[in-house]
Structure 1
């Protein structure tokens, strides 16, 4: 096995990082020991590194099974940018390029070769004479019919372990429930695989659900609050994608529709425009996005309800892969439920799909922390609220639901965890129906113990207990309710449970507008530079550097190669390619900022020389508002010889204070400007508010 020093050296030199993310090193060491591995790790958690780094540390070539051409191209571009010999092989390539790739492969010139499962048979002869270091199967949930994205071509992959028994196999996915995880190991013939299930928690994603009325206007308001950001809007139908994209474009945004009804050339072009930041907004069906390694997607909107939590989780996971704050917004209406039920009515595993849709609906209607709902669904039984979802930001009214929770858990225990929600509710309410009597449940101690709670309310409380991780639903066995370890602590250890009061939610159509955070000037300049360099190299912008790396460059402003090398995401190859260019841009920006900082001092010098504000405007060719802002800045920096009341009178300050009291929490100066019927200039309003808020000015007449 490779030493820790070697692995850290490879990590820094090729990927630019000084330390591993959670679980990465343990997975890598298992592979280097020759063990098979099943890895469940959220999008953005660093799955690819788990096989890319061992491929560098071992002799031979790693075979990477990947479901989409776009995914292969992205990862190969990124590897080559990091100085790693990699290529991909698929049926869409011209014969001469396929042959060139095969030659590199058979001659041992590649550390990693990406191939689609459908194209794997074309490599059959070449595989026999090659030293294979490891086999990586990405998006491994595609092998399971219980998964949300079953792909028949994956089923054949089980032969690889039989053919190459000594070669370690790693299966990776971001989304798999317990049933799917077990299928992956069984169908790939790796029963002794070591499981590494990372936390599904993506703390940087803000989770929000809104009612699905007036969606277009809500989306346009959202876009106004998130200018110049890249994002994806998911829809159920092809027609919707085109309609919504047109409305967004007509409002002045760059957007494109994407769906399976387009030609492959059209889809490839749109995807390429998105990846390369030329079209920042994509309106798409779920056909879009699988495996796209674009790290700077800042938001994902679901125009319609997804059909299951796995799909929803995977789709929102395409935002914020760089670890920086990202927003997710889901619109929910009952019309979506009806449409989705029609979609899945005739599929082979309709019962399971209906049960999963029910859980998706319960997530949308949740009255408890949404992150807890997601994590509990994937088997992580969290009890703390996240503070980063709409429920946590605006919580409902809670009551002590411990006794009710104990009654529910006790009933499920006495029914031997064999029944679904409906029958559990009937027993708790003391229903006198055939189903209860046929199974003699009327004799249970908990029969009728919650008869004072309505059927609908009790259903909602049970859903809350599922969402909180107290109960779980076994989809494979008629969606029966089961207890989790948390339920046992409620029954036997006196653990308290809070439940949200059931009431008609008065949805606020007009949300409080968030202040738009303008991007720093340096970040924008570095982003433009990154885009230009990416265009020259014909690679996506994030392949040059991620947003997270640009943020660190903005914060630390390195001006030497030694400082630049310490930035996360800067490896040896990128150090050699980009250090001088980015350092030059940072120095240029720093110098310009120093000049800008001095500009108010130039105004102060002229003012001290006796020039009036009007004369200074003329001399410096600047607007009156700018000159008064300079003088206010001088005063704020401590120049108390300057008297602001020379510019704004006490009477005017009093009027501004009166407006402030009437306008309450008005944001910005525009409401004040309109209050005074546009007769009091912005600079005077700014000075008056400064005197009131910062100086505690006497404002009485």
Structure 2
């Protein structure tokens, strides 16, 4: 049957396979193109249902959809979810003992989906296997990895083009959540997808509340985030040592289960920690950015950064791991001037042809961190959108910050940096500017400088936030021995040709303790005995099947069950997320609990 004739059946297949009555966002557009044999690049936010756009065509088309995916853990997560929905799927990775059987099933046409890593996909023997099989669609997941301009470049993705060209009649579907204009253009070129095949769904994740604050006591700040958000969470830390330290301290401070994850851990420990996190309903993982792309966990309630990410693209992707199920979630970043100092030092190690774009990325991140505007608006404008000026769900919209012009104070600070020889830290500079007759100030003769004692009492409290802002924008740079030197637009500021504004955060009122956190937003009817009983049953069934609870049903499906209280299999089959396979596997068990209430 020609692919175009399958289009009217797509809604029927959507309900039968996934239990949904309608497509979301651009899903239908993407599925329609795949079914009619046209190649596509779909840029869709995390949680918008990207995997459905190739899983549904895979069920409907004759032949197998070959999915190129960057991480084994991610493939195995996707495999579990696809199998639970009755999709015939397999992975072909170094971690699979049944590779021979999988290849036989592929050749025999017994697979809807075959997941493979780019390293294996580009090998000649895999092309031979494809020639012996029927391929319906190539899906390239995390497609930004193909672009040098992407924030997660993987050279093996560049080797996919010859493989795709060898099968010109097979359509290509590239998927990513994070690609700016430059990266999108590069992905289309690298994967041979026509410009008219670009579908951009928009980047907004309205269920995530964004909050960015200066770091003053990371441990206390992170503990507060955990206290307010009882569900699963991820804390990103910049180094392996910091990951270990935070995991240990947060576990003892909160009484929650907190585990570390970084590339330096023994692979078995790493895999065990990841499996524990995926299966948990309240665990927190402290990790480097090595953790995340392979996580297909929909119920992460918060993502916290204990330092700055690499770029806005990385921030968007990392925070996007929160709330993939659509329920309220929070993304909090705690940053310091030293984060930007280190990042600007790293720029010197970058190849010259990428230096300009990497510098722009860091400047864009500094702009997001320092803005008094709506965070979401800044984020979405970065990706080329024209959002409303206020979102009502970020720290700046909920507690508007003040902005003050500190250009005059900036000139005083930069002048002090210059006149003391561009080699002293902020502590010494503050003493000079406030006129403190400190031994070191006197020994260096800095009490004789024109900048000695020129700061007023009103200006002194603004010195630290100003220094932080100047380091974020690159006007102040760290020296090798912890001092500060002039950089970026410092000379323009000194000449009065550039102004400096800083954000003055609102006074925070102490929150009353107790109750569920803001992140829950009343999403789960906590204390409702029926909802709790449905969750307990889900947990038991998941343990029995050896899968995470969300693979059985998402919280949203359980909420709908608790509200609708279906009394028959037919009624239960109308609940969102209850497809034919799950209805058959779990229907009677859930009806049994529903009947008790």
TM-score in terms of structure 2 length: 0.79
CA 1:568/1:506 → structure 2, altered by over 3 Å: closer, same or farther? closer
CA displacement, residues 131-152 of structure 1 (integer Å, 9 cap, x when unaligned): 1101000000001111100001
CA displacement, residues 671-698 of structure 1 (integer Å, 9 cap, x when unaligned): xxxxxxxxxxxxxxxxxxxxxxxxxxxx
Separation in structure 1 between the aligned mates of residue 212 and residue 184 of structure 2, nearest angstrom:
28
CA displacement, residues 134-191 of structure 1 (integer Å, 9 cap, x when unaligned): 1000000001111100001000011133101111001100000011101101111223
Q: Partner residue of 2:539?
A: 531
Contact 2:66–2:115 (8 Å) recurs in 1: yes
Matches within 5 A, 1:235-314: 235-251=237-253, 252-277=255-280, 280-314=283-317
Which of 491, 503, 526 matches 1:519?
526
CA displacement, residues 4-56 of structure 1 (integer Å, 9 cap, x when unaligned): 44111111111110000011111111122211101000000011111111111
Q: Give the CA deviation at 1:547.
A: 1.7
What SS class does the counterpart of residue 297 from structure 1 fall into?
A: coil
Alignment of 1:62 with 2:69, yes or no, is no
CA displacement, residues 277-320 of structure 1 (integer Å, 9 cap, x when unaligned): 17711000000010421111111101111110111100111111
CA 1:193/1:111 → structure 2, altered by over 3 Å: closer, same or farther? farther
Matches within 5 A, 1:430-509: 502=501, 505-506=504-505, 508=507
Q: Partner residue of 1:223?
A: 226
CA displacement, residues 440-489 of structure 1 (integer Å, 9 cap, x when unaligned): xxxxxxxxxxxxxxxx99xx9xx99xxxxxxxxxxxxxx9xxxxxxxxxx
Count of aligned pairs:
493
Contact 2:138–2:172 (8 Å) recurs in 1: yes
Separation in structure 2 between the aligned mates of residue 545 and residue 300 of structure 1, nearest angstrom:
22
Contact 1:231–1:297 (8 Å) recurs in 2: yes
Moved over 6 A (4+): none
Q: Partner residue of 2:193?
A: 190
Structure number with higher relative contact order (C-alpha < 8 Å, ≥ 6 residues apart):
2
Q: Partner residue of 1:103?
A: 104
Which of 124, 140, 146 matches 2:143?
140
Contact 1:15–1:82 (8 Å) recurs in 2: yes
Separation in structure 1 between the aligned mates of residue 133 and residue 187 of structure 2, nearest angstrom:
26
Q: Give the CA deviation at 1:503.
A: 5.3
Q: Partner residue of 2:382?
A: 377
- Please report the RMSD computed on the Cα atoms of aligned residues, expressed in angstroms: 2.4
Separation in structure 2 between the aligned mates of residue 515 and residue 378 of structure 1, nearest angstrom:
38
TM-score in terms of structure 1 length: 0.67
Q: Give the CA deviation at 1:198.
A: 0.4
CA displacement, residues 197-220 of structure 1 (integer Å, 9 cap, x when unaligned): 001011100111121011211211
Which of 59, 72, 76 matches 1:73?
76
Contact 2:402–2:504 (8 Å) recurs in 1: no
Separation in structure 2 between the aligned mates of residue 509 and residue 257 of structure 1, nearest angstrom:
31
- Alignment gaps of 5+ in structure 1: 400-455, 465-478, 480-500, 591-701
Contact 1:206–1:326 (8 Å) recurs in 2: yes
Alignment of 1:82 with 2:85, yes or no, is yes
Q: Partner residue of 2:235?
A: 233
What SS class does the counterpart of residue 265 from structure 2 fall into?
A: coil
Separation in structure 2 between the aligned mates of residue 125 and residue 533 of structure 1, nearest angstrom:
41
What SS class does the counterpart of residue 345 from structure 1 fall into?
A: helix
Matches within 5 A, 1:632-643: none
CA 1:343/1:264 → structure 2, altered by over 3 Å: closer, same or farther? farther
Q: Partner residue of 1:598?
A: none
CA displacement, residues 409-461 of structure 1 (integer Å, 9 cap, x when unaligned): xxxxxxxxxxxxxxxxxxxxxxxxxxxxxxxxxxxxxxxxxxxxxxx99xx9x
CA displacement, residues 320-353 of structure 1 (integer Å, 9 cap, x when unaligned): 1111111111112111111222334312223322
Separation in structure 2 between the aligned mates of residue 77 and residue 305 of structure 1, nearest angstrom:
33
Which of 580, 586, 607 matches 2:588?
580
Contact 2:73–2:295 (8 Å) recurs in 1: yes
Q: Partner residue of 2:557?
A: 549
Alignment of 1:53 with 2:56, yes or no, is yes
Matches within 5 A, 1:599-618: none
Separation in structure 1 between the aligned mates of residue 385 and residue 158 of structure 2, nearest angstrom:
28
CA 1:193/1:163 → structure 2, altered by over 3 Å: closer, same or farther? farther
What SS class does the counterpart of residue 367 from structure 2 fall into?
A: helix
Matches within 5 A, 1:648-667: none
Separation in structure 1 between the aligned mates of residue 102 and residue 347 of structure 2, nearest angstrom:
41
Contact 2:370–2:502 (8 Å) recurs in 1: no
CA 1:398/1:233 → structure 2, altered by over 3 Å: closer, same or farther? closer
Contact 2:64–2:136 (8 Å) recurs in 1: yes
Q: Give the CA deviation at 1:257.
A: 0.4
CA 1:334/1:278 → structure 2, altered by over 3 Å: closer, same or farther? same
Q: Partner residue of 2:12?
A: 9
Contact 1:65–1:136 (8 Å) recurs in 2: yes
CA displacement, residues 229-279 of structure 1 (integer Å, 9 cap, x when unaligned): 101000110011110110111121101000000122111111111111177
Contact 2:403–2:503 (8 Å) recurs in 1: no
Contact 1:161–1:190 (8 Å) recurs in 2: no
Q: Give the CA deviation at 1:523.
A: 2.8
